Amino acid sequence: MAVNTENYNSIIAELKDKATLVAVSKTKPVEDILALYALGQRHFGENYVQELLSKQPVLPGDIKWHFIGHLQSNKVKMIAPLVHLIHGVDSIKLLLEIDRQAKKLQKTIAVLLQVHIAREETKFGMDEDELAALLQTGTELEAMKNTCVSGLMGMASFTTDQALVQQEFSYLASLYNKFSAVATNRQLPNLQFKYLSMGMSGDYKMAVGTGSNMVRIGSLLFGEREKK
């Protein structure tokens, strides 16, 4: 069995009521997911649409699937019936499409807005001005009835510079606090900040210490992914 049971139990004990663990199961076989499921894990994160579509039908129905990869607008309709939470909403265009597909299904889809906090240009996400234009002054949310903006998510720079990672996490946490207050003031039913999703296998402890209440952990649980 590839699952590291000792790490899983240790992380669960460490997080306790502080943060939700999303087990990142991308590229991992169904058997590994079932092994963690048997230990009580219910939140799993997938990065690729086709992989989620192939795994979901053959796994227990009470798994809460998180889509944590970059999502193209034309793929939203494929995962809309399956997802518990979409983490990487990086544009108003994508948000509108999620709302449109959710309306067809007569359901509400919870989403997190992805914020670009890292130095790498390859990472996706909105900046502070774009967040303000949507959450503080924009009218788009008032027309959306089938999405719920439930918080923010971000990825720190891939670096050994811990001070830089701490700086990026602190910045994202400050944005979460700022726009959580905005959400409270606007009192829109589809703007309910609950989750700050930041922190992965290498930096989740720092992230939780900085205010994260949702972490995305893969390699500590499943081992390193094989290079394709």
In angstroms, rounded to a whole number, what is the distance separating the alpha carbons of residues 107 and 105?
5
Q: Half-sphere exposure of residue 57, counting CA atoms within 13 Å on the CB side?
A: 5
DSSP letters, 5-37, are: HHHHHHHHHHHTTT-EEEEE-TT--HHHHHHHH
In angstroms, rounded to a whole number, what is the distance separating the alpha carbons of residues 24 and 44?
6
pLDDT number for residue 228: 45
Domains of the chain plus CATH, in order, are 5-222 (3.20.20.10)
Each residue of 184-215: pLDDT tens digit?
999 999 999 999 999 999 999 999 999 999 99
Strands 64-67 and 43-46: parallel
In angstroms, rounded to a whole number, what is the distance separating the alpha carbons of residues 133 and 44?
31
Going by pLDDT thresholds of 50, 70 and 90, the confidence category of residue 135 is very high
C-alpha distances in angstroms, 83 versus 77, 155, 207? 11, 21, 24
Task: Report the share of the chain in percent with pLDDT over 90.
Answer: 86
Each residue of 89-109: pLDDT tens digit?
999 999 999 999 999 999 999
In angstroms, rounded to a whole number, what is the distance separating the alpha carbons of residues 184 and 147?
17
Each residue of 3-22: pLDDT tens digit?
999 999 999 999 998 999 99
pLDDT over threshold 50, residue 84: yes
- 121 within 8 A of 80, measured Cβ to Cβ: no
Q: Which residues contact residue 145 at a Cβ distance below 8 angstroms, ignoring those fewer than 6 apart?
A: 99, 103, 190
pLDDT number for residue 121: 63
